[in-house]
A and B are shown apart, each in its own frame.
Chain A
Amino acid sequence: MLGYALRRLAGAVPVLVAVSIFVFAFVRLLPGDPARLVAGPDATAQDVALVREEMGLDRPIWEQYLRYVGQTLQGDLGRSTKTKLPVAEEIGQRFMPTFWLTVVAMVWATAIGVLIGVISGVKRGKWQDRLGMVFAVSGISFPSFWMGLLLINVFSVRLGWLPTGGYTDWKSLILPSFTLGTTVAAILARFSRSAFVEVSQEDYVRTARMKGVPERRVVWHHTLRNALIPVITMTGLEFGSLLGGAIVIETVFAWPGLGRLLIDSVSYRDYPVIQALILLFALEFVIINIVVDQLYAVVNPEIRLR
């Protein structure tokens, strides 16, 4: 088990190196003086000279890269050109709102998505299945930003039940997490239905049914348990896409999270923040992937033995 975990961890290193090279090359690929870009439009010549020194732009490129990696590992991500605050501090303030948003969205998306998928799988071909799959394909096609606006209109503007945006109490979490979770719920509904259907065609399910195991037990014990294994993997992978979705949703709901920070930074061309955020998102995806793999190994002993 430990060996497997370590192998997976080692496998993630190339991904992180590739991303760090991309982020490192980021400002150097842009036209213009990288030091000026990083220092910002209203920096003095002195500031620019300081940044140039810090980035080591007069050094060979590989040395610059190593210096960049070293600084990053020490948590030195530079300063925001917009607020002049250290980037690490900016990101630290924005982390928790995004964390709560994605976690709450994930919890209900998983619950509803898997439930709809399993009901559709059990009632295959019946109206419940059709309804479930209509929900699924609509949810996948629905522009989340439009859904956010529709929900704000109904529940905030017209009914006045929930805030239109901002990060205050649990009430402010309801609309954004619902909006964010819908797409994932739809994807999971579709996926768990097909996983359920696939398992229900296995020989051992047919055997169980033939030898007279009650239908309820066939569904819960024989089919569902096995169908859930791929569903767990999918759920974990969708966590990554939730982080992506959060970028859009946070703008709709004026949510002070990492996604909103990224969009603001791109509009403002705040390169140090953009670089750090891309690196952070990449790190999160890699960690999520590893955790998913571990979970998968826990649920499915076949993997562990390899």
Chain B
Amino acid sequence: MIDARIDDITEADLDSGTSVPLEIRSPLAEFWRRLLRQRVALVAGLLILVVIVAAVAAPWIAPFDPAEPDYENVLAGPSALHWAGTDAYGRDIFSRIIWGARISISVGFLSVALGGVLGVTLGLVSGYFGGWVDNLVMRLCDVMLAFPGILLAIAVVALLGPGVANVIYAVAVFSIPIYARVVRGSTLAVKQTLYVQAARSIGVKGLKLVLRHILPGTLPGIIVTTSLRMGTAILVAAGLSFLGLGAQPPSPEWGAMLADGRSYLGVADHLTFFPGLAIFLIVLAFNLLGDGLRDALDQKLRP
């Protein structure tokens, strides 16, 4: 906090010799103040919000039924009626993208939530107990991190079979070690803080100490990781569907739509252009928001 106050003192203030009013801000207020400075992250956050609202409201706002074929209007380019054109069955691509947002956002959210809960728990256990528990958990994480996420995900799909539900597990698996590492690091730091020492000294211990006093201290790392992981999870899930291992064709999943549109390259480019753009923009938005949050929360998680 002291840094932030010094930041606010301008040279003019020093020269004029006026005293600068020092106000003590709560960490939350400080976080908001810093986040509001991150214009790009705010725009990204707004885009994410719009996509989430669109996904929830899909039945009411999508101009067409995403599954309704219209054989009069096959492979039509973008127009006033069909904003993103129609596909090989005459289905409205814009409506399909809106419905597809439901799948991408929920797969991203569920997989990150699942991986996050397991990873955070492992990280807390590892950091709190230390010793051989810590060693074991961290070695396990090393093994998992030795593989690129997509390979782990494909191994899980190979084991469980293709499908959206299994993609959620597949993507969750490779979020676990990342959360575990981040949370373990913060736990070690938080354990040393005065307030945890104080809580310990008045006899708080065990689960209560971890959940009430340590976990909140690890939140900044968890928040940043979640935003960055959402981007990765959506990207990998779309990739798996593109490969035919996730959502299957009639479903308006963005990656599956891209795979569908492949055969019409050069004939009807809008089939691949708009779903691809949708994936790119949402992943970009989560990454930019994550970067902004990291700066606002002063976390050094990723270079």
Interface residues on A, range: 35 or more
State whether the Cβ of B219 lies closer than 8 Å to any Cβ in chain A: no
A106 to B23, CA, bound (A): 52
* A79 at interface, CB cutoff 8 A: no
A-B contact count (CB 8 A): 118
Decide if B284 touches A266 in the complex (CB within 8 Å): no
**Contact A143–B239 (Cβ < 8 Å):** yes
**Cβ-defined partner of B150 (8 Å) among A142, A150, A247:** A247
| Interface residue from B157, B158, B243 paired with A248 (Cβ < 8 Å) | B243
Instruction: Say whether, besides A153-B266, A244-B148, A247-B150, A143 and B245 are in contact (CB < 8 Å).
Output: no
Q: CA–CA, A84 to B32, complex, Å? A: 62
- In the complex with contacts A240-B146, A241-B148, A141-B235 CB distance below 8 A: yes
Q: Given the interface contacts A137-B288, A141-B235, does A15 sit within 8 Å of B151 by beta carbon?
A: no
B-side contacts of A265, CB under 8 Å: 158
Interface stretch of the complex, out of B52-60, B192-200, B275-283: B275-283
Nearest chain A CB to B299 CB, angstrom units: 14
The answer to whether the Cβ of B262 comes within 8 Å of any Cβ in the partner chain is yes
B142 within 8 A of A: yes
Chain A: which residue is nearest B147 at the CB level?
A285
Residues of A within 8 A of B162 (CB): 266-267
Residue of B154, B159, B242, B287 with highest tally of chain A CB at under 10 A: B154
Q: Which of A248-306 contact B (CB under 8 A)?
A: 248, 251, 262-263, 265-267, 269, 274, 278, 281-282, 285-286, 289
Assuming the A-B contacts A29-B159, A248-B150, are A137 and B242 also in contact, with contact meaning beta carbons closer than 8 angstroms in the complex? no
Interface digits, B280-298 against A, CB 8 Å rule (1 contact, 0 not)?
1001100110010000000
Q: Does A199 touch B at the CB level, under 8 Å?
A: no
Are A19 and B287 in contact, CB atoms less than 8 angstroms apart? no
Q: Please give me the residue from chain B that is nearest to A247 by CB atom.
A: B150
Give A33 Cβ to nearest chain B Cβ, in Å.
16
Q: Do B142 and A15 have beta carbons less than 8 Å apart? A: yes
Interface positions of A (Cβ within 8 A of B) = 14-15, 18-19, 22, 26, 29-30, 137-138, 140-146, 149-150, 152-153, 157-158, 190-191, 194-195, 240-241, 243-245, 247-248, 251, 262-263, 265-267, 269, 274, 278, 281-282, 285-286, 289
Listed by A's residue number, 29 A-B pairs whose Cβ atoms lie within 8 Å are: A15-B143, A22-B155, A26-B158, A26-B159, A138-B280, A141-B280, A141-B283, A141-B284, A143-B242, A146-B276, A149-B262, A149-B265, A149-B276, A150-B276, A152-B265, A153-B266, A158-B266, A240-B147, A243-B151, A247-B150, A247-B154, A248-B150, A251-B242, A263-B243, A266-B158, A267-B162, A278-B151, A278-B155, A285-B147
Pick the 3 closest A-B CB pairs, nearest first: A244-B148, A146-B276, A157-B266
